[in-house]
Each structure stands twice: as C-alpha cells, then as structure tokens.
Amino acid sequence: MNNLLRIAIQKSGRLNEDSLKLIKECGVKFNNGTGKLKSTATNFPLEFLFLRDDDIPGYVADGVADIGIVGENVSVEKEKHVLITKRLGFSKCRLSLAIPKAKAYQGPGDFQGVSVATSYPKILSNYFKEKNIVADIHEISGSVEIAPSIGLADAICDIVSSGSTLLSNGLKEVEVIFNSEAVLIEYPDLAPAKQEILQQLLFRMKAVQAGKNNRYILLNAPNDNLDKIVAVLPGMKSPTILPLAMSGWSSVHSVVNEDAFWEVIEQLKNLGAQGILVVPIEKMIL
C-alpha cells in the first residue's frame, strides 16, 4: 500500500464545487480536469476519486476510499458502516414531508395509511416508526415532487432548500424530518499512516473553518473606556493594544466570532469606539 489518503468526492452536482474549494483552501494543489475519475494532489499525499454521491458511503465503508465528502442525508440513508469525522457547514438542506397545497394538515398523525414517495425510504421509515405511524413508502430515485400530481402517491418526502420547487408542483411543506449538511466520512479501520495524513488534513480544515467563523477587528478606543472595551473583545488570548499618536486614544486589535459579531459592534459603539475596521481571516490556528 502506498501512503496516499484516498478521498471520494462527488463527480458533479451540488457538493462538488464546495468540496473541492475546501480542499484547495487547505493548500492542497491538484488537477481536476473535467471527466477525470481519479487525480493525485501535487503537494500533499491525497488521491481523489470522483464518484456519484450515492456510491460514496459504500466505497468508504469498504475501504476503497479512505474518506469521503457526502450529504449527511445520503450517509444516513445508505446505512453503511462509516464514521462521521467532521461536519463541513456547506450544502445545508432539509428533508421534509410535503402534501398537496389544498389539503388540510393537523400533524404527523395525518400520514397514517397515506402513500408517500421518496428517495429516502430508510430515513423516512425511521421517522414514521418513531411516531408510530404506518404509512406506505414508495421508493423512487428522482422527480419525487411530481408523484402526487401523476397519482403515484398522496404525499412526498424530499430535499427542500427554498421550497420553490414544492410550490411550483402544488405542494406545501408540512414536517421537517432531517436537517443535513455536507460531512466528512471515514473508513472505520484506517491504517496509522493514513490516519496521520487525515489528521494533517483535519488540522488544516479546522484552521480554514475557524477563519471563516471569525473576523479580525481594529478600532480606536478612548483610553477612559479601554477596560470595558477590552472586556467585550476576548480575542484569541487577549486583545492587542497600541497607543495612538493622539493622546488619550488607543488602537485595539482583536478577533470576534461571527455569531456574536453585530452584538459586539453595538456594544463597542456604545463604549465610544471609533473607526472600526473588520477584516476577513483566511486561516486561524487555535
């Protein structure tokens, strides 16, 4: 066995671009000429397999690929023996039940005895089992949303992102049964040498993600309020404080998490901060 870590990526589709972008942001260089099934990185021990997303969990469970990037929906539906190593934060979507727009809806109990078309029979039957509902699940592989209008089923269970496809097919979303995002999956019995490469890649992915979730912030603070301003800006260790040429003022530099961002800005303004600059962070090593 050579010491290359093999990663399975969707060949084309909604996951392809963001998966490759993440790997590029990790500093890995490669050539993914269109139509290629395989490629090797030029500056990192990583080999790519480009596959249909549905096949990725199986390839990883069998160890043909060491790791892979798929939607969590696909990973769960396939019920293959793989580890979910990391949630990747892109390709967010939900799996929902939808019924014809004109139908009244009271709750999940309405699905008792109803026929439902879906490409996710396992996730759906688990959901119905949990709710003690017996329904008739029809597995179809695509164009699920037209099933009610052609008389194939009373309802559907499908991926929804904006809901516009449902609306244009005369359907309304009534229950979200699964929230999904892209995940990194892993062969459960990876050899130590490959595990080491994976850890290097994960270290880089974490730095990229932390960078995306944080902003570098610079501001001018009146010295009288410096303590209070520093208290709302925890930073990585603590903020940097530099004196300004104008007496009574300092420049404060720190890192702010995106989730808390606007709240922090509001507090800083109220404490007299001026000239606030916010800069994106490419990578952040914690």
Residue number, nearest CB to ligand ATP = 71
Q: Is 14 among the residues that bind ligand ATP (CB under 6 A)?
A: yes
- Residue-wise DSSP of 10-75: ESSSTTHHHHHHHHHHTT------TT-SEEE-SSSSEEEEEE-GGGHHHHHHHTSSSEEEEEHHHH
Of 57, 59, 73, 148, the residue at the interface with ligand ATP (CB under 6 A) is 73
Question: Which span sits near ligand ATP by CB under 6 A: 66-74, 100-108, 127-135, 254-262?
Answer: 66-74
Residue 19 vs 254, nearer CB to ligand ATP: 19
What count of other Cβ atoms lies within 10 Å of the Cβ of residue 180?
A: 21
Closest distance of CB 140 from ligand ATP, Å: 13
Of 54, 64, 114, 226, the residue at the interface with ligand ATP (CB under 6 A) is 54
- Contacts of 113 by beta carbon, 8 Å cutoff, 6+ apart: 134, 135, 136
Residue 6 vs 78, nearer CB to ligand ATP: 78
Of 46, 65, 93, 201, the residue at the interface with ligand ATP (CB under 6 A) is 93
CA atoms of 104 and 52, how far apart (whole Å) = 38
Closest distance of CB 11 from ligand ATP, Å: 6
* Two structure tokens written together for 144: 């699920």
Closest distance of CB 70 from ligand ATP, Å: 7
Closest distance of CB 90 from ligand ATP, Å: 8
What's the angle, vertex CA 142, arms to CA 140 and CA 143, rounded to 5?
110
**β-bridge mates for residue 97, sequence order:** 157, 175
Closest distance of CB 111 from ligand ATP, Å: 23
Closest distance of CB 119 from ligand ATP, Å: 8
The type of residue at 235 is G
Is-contact 65 184, C-beta < 8 A?
Answer: no
Q: Is 248 helix (H, G, I), strand (E, B) or coil?
A: coil
For 138, list phi and psi in degrees, rounded to 5: -105, 115
Residue 25 vs 54, nearer CB to ligand ATP: 54
Q: What is the number of residues in the chain?
A: 286
Q: Is 53 among the residues that bind Zn ion (CB under 5 A)?
A: yes
Task: With CA atoms as reference, report the closest residue to 94 among 167, 176, 169.
Answer: 176
Task: With CA atoms as reference, report the closest residue to 46 among 18, 72, 27, 73.
Answer: 27
The partner in contact with residue 250, picked from Zn ion, ligand ATP, none with C-beta cut-offs of 5 to 8 angstroms by kind, is none
Of 21, 29, 52, 101, the residue at the interface with ligand ATP (CB under 6 A) is 52
The partner in contact with residue 159, picked from ligand ATP, Zn ion, none with C-beta cut-offs of 5 to 8 angstroms by kind, is ligand ATP
Of 18, 25, 47, 54, the residue at the interface with Zn ion (CB under 5 A) is 54
Binding site for ligand ATP (CB under 6 A): 10, 13-15, 52-54, 71, 73-74, 91-93, 159, 161, 180
Binding site for Zn ion (CB under 5 A): 53-54
